[in-house]
Structure 1
Amino acid sequence: MNDVFEPVRLGPLTLRNRVIKAATFEGRTPGSMPSDALVEFHREVAAGGVGMTTVAYCAVAPGGRTDNGALWMRPEVVPGLRKLTDAVHREGAAASAQIGHAGPVANSRSNGEPALAPSRFFNPLGMRPCKVPDAAELREVVAAHANAARLAEQSGFDAVEVHLGHNYLASSFLSPMLNRRRDSYGGSLENRARFAREIVAAVSDAVGGRLAVTAKLNMTDGARGGLQIPESIEVAKLLEADGGLDAIELTAGSSLLNPMLLFHGDAPRRSFGKTLPIPLRWGFRLGGSAFLKEYPYREAYLLDRARQFRQELRLPLILLGGITNYDTMRQARDAGFEFVAMGRALLREPDLLRRIQSDSGTRSACIHCNECMPTIYTGTRCPLRPEKQEIR
């Protein structure tokens, strides 16, 4: 299956290759608006050779932002996002918008609006309780996802990625630990999956057939009592049967409970702690080692979990986690994954893919130190990358 760099279909799209730039929060949206720096971030990755780059994170509502500097989808952002998609298209790549609601991961103090959660939960970022939405309020969030997808289409995006991972709002409904509701959105797995399915259906109804519709789905939250692989496979089967998705990107970990399960490699506790505001910094000093656990890095570190989904699903799947060289890409293809997603390696070297195409023996310069993680507050970047390097 030596076809990583050949054109491939993703729903209504044809991508120039099977490599997708994974959604990586860019920290380049001052005033919740697209900036020239955001445009350049994605133009550079597109120039580096990916088939598609993903803009993260596009909140569907003001309260769905991770903090008040995050972008949220409204008519005012369309011209800036159109500038971004035009730049990406000129480099020969497609552009995807990751849409979602941060829910219990939102900083309610920063946003000035209550963070939402399926059940009573104390929001550690805003240092206040979350709001538990009723069914009518959930329908408003579903409608907001459809509206965000339509705005993404107006902005020139080729695809939208629905965020169903990392214990953002839809993901938190899937978690039996975070979702203790007793209505039609809680209890059984089918009920807990209802909200995610309604969101995907609304997005598909809004733009499906014209834009590719994908979802980022947690395989496991990485926490006792959270979503685990057997239930996540059943959720994926329900989404597949609903017919609203063109592909699923498999992820893992929780921004609330276990973020390092997604990243693997060194845990940058010291530098991460310095970026947090007081009083979160004090709490992190006490519990940072428990929150930022350390998982040894290896190539394709989510592959073993993802294989279980591949065995049960016919829907195209995107493998994320430790994809840094051609051998690993071929390994993913041999295991039946239609696409691979790259993140940190492209922060280090945006042109890595073009160099791999020229020399299949090329190895990434990323050392998996994860010092890029604390930079999300000041513009996500690899601290080891030369300041003046530019990809054309």
Structure 2
Amino acid sequence: MAEQASPGVGRIRQNDIYVNGIHGRKPKVPTDHAELERRARKAMSERAWAYIAGGAGEGTTMTANRAALDRRVIVPRVLRDVSVRNTGIELFGDTLPAPVLFSPVGAGALVRRRADVLIGRAAAQLGVPYIFSNQGSAPMEDVAAEMDRIRPGSPRWFQLYWSVDEDLVDSFLARAKAMGASAIAVTLDTTMLGWRPQDLNLGSLPFARAEGIDQYTSDPTFRDIVARRLKAVVDKQKPEVTPGAIRTLVSIARNIPGPFLKNLTAPESMESVQTFLSIYSRPSLNWDDIAGLRERTDLPIVLKGILHPDDARQAIDTGVDGIIVSNHGGRQVDGSIGAVDALAAIAPVVDGRIKVLVDSGIHTGADVFKALALGADAACIGRPHMYGLAIDGADGARDVVTNIIAELDLTLGLSGHTAVTDLDRSALSEV
């Protein structure tokens, strides 16, 4: 694997910012998380902020995610030659410049129209994977095409929400293979939506407005399901007409494929939303389903949402290729274990037999360093890149992750290390 040439990506990024500063130009995207979050909130609508930044219940799992990172402190070593550093890794056949991925975030259209295309562009510019959201705001084929336009063969994964309709699952798997996915990330922790007060207090469910269902409305199998449901309806109850209902219908008409005016009156528009809400996820999902997935795809299978060591053992026994230690960014279960605390317990159990990734609460390059030292092969970035997207579109999403990678590189060297793959628990202490 090629090494990152001195002075390293961190110093290059610093120098670029400081040179621009000589000319009076400040970064559009803040380089610290607190200011990034503050600016993003100002840039987002109330509904967008509630959905992207909100958590389950009282938000204690989001607090636990940060507490788990803060309890681990880096113990730098000195007088080591760190003039050349290597932040690269290999992951499922892809050579990556850094152990960082863009996490899937649903309903990105709340932040920017066709958000997934913009995020894909950002990821392709950096050469790191984007895990396409199953609840995305653009068809996966459009995102893949944009990534290949920027960098042919850009790494990308697909996040699978396991529908109650098995034909739709197979269709998503086939499309993911066709558009060049390197892996399938099966989300396990959202077989039903968690209790999310920020959305509930606004009565805001993006999917009810057709925001974030583009993978479905672009799918031929899903469209067939909608058509069958329409034929089966004999006596449909007349909907209540209110100003809010009219605004929802307008949103649906804008987000469903096809001419806006036609969508306003087409029965398929509302039925597409109703169909999505009734079939998007299956609460009965179990280990037998995961075991059978190997017969349905030859792509690497990664299970997203593992938090217990016994589930990690079961994943290995089931024959999957990797796991993502995740509590969905604190959006599903209030009072859950912090993701990095879970990682600390799970990594020794896995012991290198399958790939281990982590998300939830990862904000900075120092956070990524800690996750790698605790045994993760890579870290996934969620809310921060969405904050960058809100502030400055694709460039903002790219710059946020660029800054995280730059800080990782500097933290690596300043702590006395030269390769991310060599990090282990000796680099940390717990307070």
TM-score (norm 2): 0.37
Q: Name the structure with the higher helix share.
A: 2
TM-score (norm 1): 0.40
Which of the two has higher C-alpha Rg? 2
Report 1 or 2 for greater relative contact order, CA contacts < 8 Å, sequence distance ≥ 6: 2
